[in-house]
Amino acid sequence: MQEVYAALMLHDAKQPINEENLKKVLSSIGSSVDAKIKALVASLEGVNIDEAVKQAVVSAAAPAGGSDKKEEKKAEEDESKKAEEASAGLSALFG
C-alpha cells in the first residue's frame, strides 16, 4: 500500500511516476523497496490518476442499491412495534 501512496505523492508533486522516483520516496521513509514497484508503474501506464481518484470518491459516496431506505423502514417498523408492545403492557396494568 505504501507504493500506491508514494505514487500519489509523486503525482501530486507533478513528478513522473517511475521506478527510480518511487524507490527514492520509499527509501526516504525507511520502507523496503520490492518487486511491487515494477508492477505498479506498469499498471499506472496511461492511467489518468485524477479521473481515477474522482471515480473512486464518487463510487464511495454513492449509496449501494437503496439499502439505506430499507434500513430506515425497518427501524421505523421496529419503533412502532415497540410502541404497540409498550401500550399493550400498560393496558394490562389498568384494565
What pLDDT is recorded for position 73? 73
Q: In this predicted model, what pLDDT tens digit does every residue of 72-89 receive, in sequence order?
A: 777 777 777 666 666 665
pLDDT at 15 exceeding the cut of 90: yes
CA distance 62 to 78: 26
DSSP letters for 33-83: P-THHHHHHHHHTT--HHHHHHHHHHHHHS-STTHHHHHHHHHHHHHHHHH
**What is the reported pLDDT for 32?**
81
The Cα 23–Cα 21 span in angstroms is 5
